[in-house]
Amino acid sequence: MIIVNTYDMTRVTYLRDQSRPVKHVSWDHSGSTLAVSCSDGMVYVYSLSSEEPKLVKRLDGLIKIMETDSQASSKVIWHPDGRAIAAPTPTKTIQVISRSDWSNQRTFQGDGRGDITAASWSPNGALLATASEDLSITLWNTKTQQPVLKFDIDREPVLALAWHPTENLLSYTTNDGELYIHTGVVPQGYASLLQKTLVPAPFLNEPAEGASKTLVNGGARPGAQRRAGTPDSLDDILGDDGLSENGDPFIVDDDGAGYVEQVNVNGKRPGAHVQYPPSKRPQQYGSARWQPRLHDPFQPGSTPWRGNRRYLCLNLTGFIWTVDQDTHHTVTVEFYDRAAHRDFHFTDPFLYDKACLGEHGAAFSCPSSDQHPSLVYFRPHETWTSRTDWRTQLPTGEEVTSLSLSTSFVVVTTSKGYVRVYTLYGLPFRVYRQKSTPAVACASWRDYVLTIGNGPIGGDGTAKLVYTIENVKRDEVCQSEDIIPLPDQSELQSVFWVL
């Protein structure tokens, strides 16, 4: 097996422990550990955090022995919290394995009508989707290991499953080469599971949700309380004895036979024989921590990729769209009023991902790469001025999160929480720190700048969106940190000025 570094293709790593052909490979979420499933039923787990790969574990009997062209799956899937892996077993179930000691944990028991052909955890680990050769897809609650939905598909078995990162959407491909996108796949009664924060992997020492508990006299059994430790030592409580520094030495080891325990420099007996109670906090690998749900940044007027093209900007002046040509992009700018402005296009080696179109020009920005930091580019319209275009760089490690353009300024919000304002001639006009971060979007009109960011955390664990309006030319704040009244479970899609 060969691993090629995509940044430097001359760096090649060889894995030679497999005796039979490899059927599946899967990386963990950090990209430092690789699981390799072979056709002989062996799973090899490698650590690639160092220069030389290290074989961490060889799992025998977890997966089924099968040919590489078999429809059944033996692929290892990594739980989002990083503590466990799971894989289809020869008994047509999904077995969860602890990553810390490689022991068997909980099992997802199916009806056994067909081999499992694909499996995928939801982004937060609350649900598990599996597909089998009986032409069905099952959604499981990982807390209870019980199915919440099972539906049939047409014609061919599913070979791959993928959840949408934020929406209630499941995509899958079949053996006949077709891609299906199933919206609203999780029923309404269980859709809240997708809104939870990271859910821990289902372990045996963590009881399933809804499991019955032992009752005492008809009531719940109270939790066992350990006796709290005392700040006093045992010698302080019992007083001096013959072995204490100040006690009566009624036993003297005058012949050196060793039947009297030695004391340390503090006059105490060694404590190696003392058995301390186990810690109340179990040692867990990669324990999940609660994190608030933040609103992702977006560029107003843009669209996601559809095939190899997308719109970077769409407003009442015109629109900008780009085409991915593998090694570069081609950008086209079109206007509704072709009498006032002439359409143009250019080759884009910087791979611009954000753009704005105004009366006097077009602004673009691109993310950083190995060759250059994040860039901001402004190109004026020919009819406005004979001044040439300009390009400026952001500091290393700082990325553009949103971009806006008015008749006076180019406004940029960054990943470091700054708002950078440039004139249309490329001169830095203002740089200030945004109060609510991370930034979500910005919009500008004349000398006014509207910025939106993640504010205080609500009761449902989601950050509130707050906005600020400033006149950057007069250095005046018109509105500061006001909350945008969005309904629950809704997202902001665009922001613009209406005149």
pLDDT of residue 468: 93
- Give whole-number Cα distances, 408 to 30, 51, 61, 133, 151, in Å: 44, 52, 68, 62, 56
Q: Which residues of the chain have pLDDT under 50?
A: 207-224, 282-287
Do 35 and 163 lie in one domain? The reply is: yes
Last residue of a domain, one of 195, 222, 245: 195
303 is a domain residue? no
Residues 167 and 316 in one domain: no
Last residue of one domain, picked from the residues 150, 174, 195: 195
3-state secondary structure labels for all residues of 366-408: ECCCCCCCCEEEEEECCCCCCCCCEEEECCCCCCEEEEEECCC
The CA distance from 425 to 148, in Å, is 59
Q: What is the domain extent for residue 72? A: 15-195
Do 71 and 112 form a contact (C-beta atoms < 8 A)?
Answer: no
Tell me if 121 is assigned to some domain: yes
SS3 193: helix
Q: Is residue 470 located within the same domain as residue 321?
A: yes
Q: What is the pTM of this model?
A: 0.46
Residues pairing with 131 in the sheet: 118, 137
The pLDDT, as a whole number, for residue 12 is 85
End-to-end CA distance of the chain: 62
Structural domain ending residue among the three candidates 164, 195, 226 = 195
The CA dihedral of 256, 261, 266, 272, to the nearest 10 degrees, is: 130
* Residue 209 falls inside a structural domain: no
Tell me if 240 is assigned to some domain.
no
Cα–Cα distance, 73 to 23 (Å, whole number):
9
460 shares a domain with 327: yes
Q: Are residues 314 and 184 in the same domain?
A: no
Q: Is residue 294 situated within a structural domain?
A: no
Q: Give the DSSP H or E segment for 410.
A: strand 409-414
pLDDT at 218: 46
Would you say residue 226 lies in a domain?
no
Contact present, 160 and 217 (Cβ < 8 Å): no
Residues 180 and 324 in one domain: no
- The set of residues, in sequence order, having a beta carbon less than 8 Å from that of 405 and lying 6+ positions away, is 356, 357, 358, 361, 362, 363, 411, 444
Give domain status of residue 217, yes or no.
Answer: no
Domain tally, the chain: 2
Looking up residue 461, the CATH number of its domain turns out to be: 2.130.10.10
**Predicted pLDDT of residue 435:** 86
Max intra-chain CA distance, the chain: 114
pLDDT in the model for residue 481: 87
Q: Across the strands, what pairs with 443?
A: 450
| φ, ψ at 6 (rounded to 5°) | -70, -20
Q: Which of 463, 267, 299, 293 is nearest to 366 (CA)?
A: 299
pLDDT in tens, 116-155: 999 999 999 999 999 999 899 999 999 999 999 998 887 7
User: Which pLDDT score is estimated for 210?
Assistant: 44
In a domain, 292, yes or no: no
